[in-house]
Amino acid sequence: MGRYLPYMAFGLLIVLLVCIGLFADRFVLYLTMRVMLLSIFALGYNLLLGRTGLLSFGHAAFYAAGSYGMALFYLHINPDPLLGILAGVGLAVVASLVIGFFCVRHTEIYFAMLTLAFGMMVFSLIWNLRDITGGDDGLVGIGRNPLLGFSIAKDSQYYFLVVFFFALTVWIIHRIRSSPFGLVLAGISENHQRASFAGISIKSYRLAAFVISGAFAGLAGSLGAMLESNSDPFSAHWTHSAEPVLVSLIGGLHTFSGPIVGSVLFVVLREIIERFTQNWMLWLGIILLVIIMGFRGGAMGSAEQYLARWGRKFREESAS
Amino acid sequence: MFKKGLTRRDFVKAGLLTAAATGLGAGVLKPTGLWAAEAKIKGPVKVGYQAILSGTLAGYGEFHKMGVDMAVEEINAAGGIGGAKLEVEFRDSTLKNPEAIKNARYFVDSWGADFLAGVDSSGQALALAPVMAQLDKPLMVTHAATEKLTEQEVFKNGVKQIFRICTPTYQDGNAAAFVAKDLPAMKWATISPKYEYGYTCWGMFKDTLGKLKPGTEFVAESWAPFGTTDFRAHINTIMDANPDGLYSVEWAGELITMMKQADQAGLFKKIKHVMLPVGAAMDVLEGLGAEMPDNIWISGRYFFLYPDNPKNNEWVAAFQKRWKHYPAYVSETGYSSIYAFKAAVEAAGSKDTKAVIEALEGMEFDSPAGKRVFRKEDHQAMYSVPWGLTKADPKYPFKIMGKMVVIPPEECFNRPPFEGAASMPPFKS
């Protein structure tokens, strides 16, 4: 039973998403897409933070690489959406390879600062290369052409493409986490000296995790560019890099579903608060603080602990 | 084969026909006179307004809100719009594009807005264009100044849902050049923000002044990144180039900082002609107070002492009484945006998007800033804002415009089709 639980949860989630796609109004659809994009971003990111134990403050750069890669490809080369996404992810992979190569030599605060510096370098590049990136205006006019003959111009149609990529991301990240590769990453996070004594090339593994997380950031970015029909320079800013960190923390760093739950909480809570007060930043901050400090291991982490305790109690009672 | 009398089927048919005719009759014979006037516009008229309400520029959002709140209070006290109540909801635009898009979608799809207004940054305005086409509700831009919005999105791409009530970059670049041509200055330099707005305005200024006064030289450019607090290096670059005039579209807090540091460096003793296209913003004038030097050319999107007519003076007095502040330009554009919607809805007799857009196109209406006309082609409001020289006045705790120069918008705004030199001033006719 326990073995199949994740698959059942996954199936239920997809059914729920499809139902939202079929029956919900346009604003709910849009918010759900924003949640899914943030989830894709954070799921990839958490492979680096939760699994490998590396705190990066520069992943917005790869999100922006995906977004601008998609936009530039659309505007100058080919308006096909799939090729555009491919171009966006490709650019993000290249960027994360180059940046990752320099960053994974270090850990902890040095790693965090290096990624922050590289991230802001990408931001200022985007800001200053006006002829290519449109400067602070960003790139506008990204349309949604038919995909393999199916129209995705309407939000209700595009939604299902996002659901597809979201499901794909969940599946791939799950496979990676339970593969030998994912276990090595966890091993490095636990004790990197021991891992290197065991003959593991730590740097290559770290770089691989870095590039994979960068690729998913790029996927989220290119899907985001199509959703909003523009590329925004601030998507490369460090404040945007903080989002997957926050979301992973809220949901639970060491759980698989943490980033998804965190994304839902982050977007929905803010939406609710904004309806009551213009001072939403303060209230969201307070609530996030309570979640992070009050629920050890994030929302999903403490839920797991609670369930485990409850399960043990239940078993003890039924045994006596 | 003949049937006698009415069959049952015929009977049913006849019944249905009668019922249909009755229904149709009621529809065709609409109530007229008093009854019709009451039921003209259904339900409340809802306007979703977004402006920057957080961070260092939150003051701008507050000024937007003051103007809009006043318009709402006045209109509802006087019976609403065509008998319907007016409702406005505010949201923080945060200056980020995805937030602006989310706000617009929330307003239309979740809150049920009939109209949208606000928007501070140019990037946001451009990002909103395709969204507005999709949501199909009119958006009245009250602060973002990029000419690309009206030239590209409205005129070329046909996003007819967008209108702009404030002056665009033409006021900052072109109109400044018309003022500069009469000054005894042949060498100009700039310190401007290192982003699209700065580049565009300086480009327009150079281009138009170059045509108006051949032989003018542009000797130095210094671009200050967003968030600059130390302008000394920029000031030194400009002073080394020894120009006759300085042109700067720095704005808000950064302009205040720059002016203070330029004064310390003795810039105003050396450079006699200084032009600040957004220097007449109330936050800058109040922020600098007596430290604003005299004889600086300033302008904005509205200045509370212009036009000197009863409508404007009464409005400024009412604003002063209500908020204990002089109206900032975003207060005026926010206030007038609500009245523009009111006028359009009442002219169209409906709040339906298509009807309101048709009513707004070419519409002329009176506002505190004077008579405004929405140009049909690009939906840009045509109205004049003065350029003026700063001077002290014992009535005010800050510098005001003394001598004023008004460049008519017909003379300094780019014209459709926005292609080639013929679309840009100076115009022959």
Angle between helices B232-241 and B252-264 (to 10 degrees): 60
Whether residue A126 is predicted with pLDDT greater than 80 in this model: the reply is: yes
Decide if B146 and A137 are in contact by the 8 Å CB cutoff: yes
Please give the distance of CA A123 from its chain centroid, rounded to a whole number.
19
Per-residue pLDDT band for A151 (boundaries 50, 70, 90) equals confident
Across the interface, of A27, A140, A274, the residue whose CB is closest to B127 is: A140
Contacts of A26 in chain B (CB under 8 A): 105, 109
Other CB atoms within 10 Å distance of the CB of residue B418: 17
Structure tokens at A105: 């030599």
pLDDT at A84 over 60: yes
Res B23 pLDDT > 70: no
To 10 degrees, what angle do helices A5-23 and A26-46 make? 150
pLDDT of amino acid B56: 82
Q: List, for residues A252-278, the tens digit of each pLDDT value.
A: 888 888 999 999 999 998 888 888 877
Cα(A276)–Cα(A214) distance, integer angstroms: 36
H/E element, A215: helix A202-228
Same domain for B313 and B412, yes or no, is: no
Q: How many domains does chain B have?
A: 2
- The distance of Cα B57 from the centroid of its chain, to the nearest Å, equals 17
Residue B11: per-residue pLDDT:
47
Beta-carbon-side half-sphere exposure of residue A195 (alpha carbons within 13 Å)? 19
Scanning A167-206 for CB atoms below 8 A from B yields none
User: Is pLDDT above 80 for B279?
Assistant: yes
For residues A14 and A161, give the distance between their C-alpha atoms in angstroms, rounded to a whole number.
13
CA distances from B279 to A191, B248, B326 (A): 59, 9, 15
Q: What is the nearest CA distance from B428 to chain A, expressed in angstroms?
A: 32
In this structure, are residues A85 and A40 in contact, taking their beta carbons and an 8 Å threshold? no
B107 secondary structure, DSSP code: I
For residue B375, pLDDT over 70 is answered with: yes
Domain identity same for B163 and B74? yes
SS3 A150: strand
- Among the residues of B243-352, which ranges form H helices? 252-264, 267-270, 282-288, 310-323, 329-348
Instruction: Look at B106 and A27 and tell me if their CB atoms are within 8 Å.
Output: yes
Residue of B nearest to A127 (CA): B195
Cβ(A51)–Cβ(A117) below 8 Å: no
Residues 6+ positions from A306 with CB-CB distance below 8 Å: none
Q: Which residue of A has its CA nearest to B145?
A: A137
The answer to whether position B6 is within a domain reads no
Angle of helix A238-251 versus helix A258-276 axis, rounded to 10: 110
Cβ <8 Å between A228 and B92: no
**Residue whose C-alpha is closest to residue B54's, from B87, B95, B100:** B95
Per domain, the residue ranges of chain A are 9-234
Q: Do B203 and B150 fall into the same domain?
A: no
**What's the mean pLDDT in A219-246?**
93
* Residue A31 and residue A267 in contact, taking contact as beta carbons nearer than 8 Å: yes
Asked whether residue B263 falls in the same domain as residue B361, the answer is: no
Residue B27, pLDDT above cutoff 60: no
Quick: pLDDT tens for A197-222. Answer: 888 888 999 999 999 999 999 999 99
Query: What's the CA gap between B151 and A137, in Å, rounded?
Result: 15
Domain span at B76:
45-167+308-382
CB contact at 8 A, B391 and B295: yes
**A26: which 2 tokens?**
């346009």
Q: Do residues B317 and B281 share a domain?
A: no
- For B400, the 3-state DSSP assignment is strand
pLDDT, tens digit, 9 for 90 and up, residues B163-217? 999 999 999 999 999 999 999 999 999 999 998 899 999 999 999 999 999 999 9
Residue B39 lies in a domain: no
The answer to whether A34 faces chain B, any CB pair under 8 Å, is yes
- Are B139 and B233 in a shared domain? no
Per-residue pLDDT, B7: 54
Query: What single-letter DSSP state applies at residue B4?
Result: -
The predicted pLDDT at position B119 comes to 95
> For B91, which residue in chain A has the nearest alpha carbon?
A278
Q: Please check whether residues B53 and B66 belong to one and the same domain.
A: yes
Radius of gyration, CA atoms only, chain B: 26
Q: What residues of chain B lie within 8 A of the CB of A280, using their CB?
A: 92
Q: Does A232 touch chain B (CB under 8 A)?
A: yes
The pLDDT > 90 percentage for chain A reads 56
For the segment B75-107, what is each residue's pLDDT rounded down to a tens digit? 999 999 989 999 999 999 988 899 999 999 999
pLDDT at B29: 44
Pair (B88, B163) in one structural domain: yes
User: What pLDDT is attached to residue B187?
Assistant: 96
Distance CA(A69)–CA(A72), nearest Å, equals 5
Tell me the average pLDDT of chain A.
90
Of B213, B229, B216, B225, the C-alpha closest to B189 is: B216
| Residues of chain B contacting residue A268, judged by C-beta atoms under 8 Å apart | none
Per-residue pLDDT reduced to its tens digit, B307-354: 999 999 999 999 999 999 999 999 999 999 999 999 999 999 999 999
Statement: residue A244 has pLDDT above 80? yes
Report the chain B residue with the minimal C-alpha distance to residue A237: B96
Across the interface, of B95, B127, B196, the residue whose CB is closest to A135 is: B196
Closest CA to B414 of B169, B149, B132: B169
Contact B132, B116 (CB under 8 A): yes
Residue B337 to residues A11, A43, B119, Cα–Cα distance (Å):
49, 44, 12
CA distance to partner chain A, nearest, from residue B208 (Å) = 22
Which residues, other chains included, contact A36 with Cβ-Cβ below 8 Å and sequence gap of 6+? Answer: A17, A162, A163, A165, A166, A263
Antiparallel, parallel or unpaired: β B245-247 and B187-193: parallel
What's the token pair of residue A5?
């639980």
Residues of A within 8 A of B196 (CB-CB) are 130, 134-137
- Give which of A243, A275, A279 is closest to A34, Cα–Cα: A243
Instruction: Please tell me if residue B129 touches chain A, with a CB cutoff of 8 Å.
Output: yes
Q: Give contacts of A25 with chain B, Cβ < 8 Å.
A: 109-110
In tens, the pLDDT along B40-73 reads 688 899 999 999 988 888 888 999 999 999 999 9
How sure is the predictor about B277, in pLDDT bands with cuts at 50, 70 and 90? very high
Q: How far is CA A3 from CA A9, A179, A318, in A?
A: 11, 16, 22
Contact B402, B391 (CB under 8 A): yes
Nearest C-alpha neighbor of B383 from the set B283, B300, B280: B300
**Whole-angstrom distance, CA of residue B237 vs CA of residue B40:** 63
d(CA B40, CA B280): 42
The shares of helix, strand and coil residues in chain A, as percent rounded to the nearest 5, are 80, 0, 20
pLDDT tens figures, A51-76? 888 999 999 999 999 999 999 999 99
Please report which residue ranges of A24-129 form alpha helices under DSSP H. Answer: 26-46, 60-72, 81-103, 108-128
Same domain, B152 and B280: no
Is the pLDDT assigned to residue A125 strictly greater than 90? yes
Assess A8–B contact: CB distance below 8 Å, yes or no. Answer: no
Tell me if A96 sits within 8 A of A211, measured CB to CB.
Answer: yes
- B141-163: pLDDT as tens digits: 999 999 999 999 999 999 999 99
One domain, residues B190 and B262:
yes
Structure ipTM over 0.90, yes or no: no
Q: Is the pLDDT of residue B239 over 90?
A: yes
Q: What is the dihedral of CA A130, A135, A141, A144, to 10 degrees?
A: 100
| Residue B343, token pair as written in the block | 């006028």
- Whether the bond into B193 is cis, omega within 30 of 0: no
B157 vs A: CB within 8 A: yes
Give B38's pLDDT tier (boundaries 50, 70, 90).
very low
Identify the band that residue B10 occupies on the pLDDT scale cut at 50, 70 and 90: low
Kindly report the nearest CA distance between residue A276 and chain B, in angstroms.
Answer: 11
The reply to whether B56 and B99 lie within a common domain is yes
CB pairs under 8 A between A and B: 79
Q: Give me the CATH number covering residue B123.
A: 3.40.50.2300
Closest to A169 in 3D by CA, of A55, A66, A38, A60: A38
**Residues B208 and B258 occupy one common structural domain:** yes
A228 → closest Cβ in B90, B97, B146: B97
Look up residue A174 and give its two tokens. Answer: 């799950």
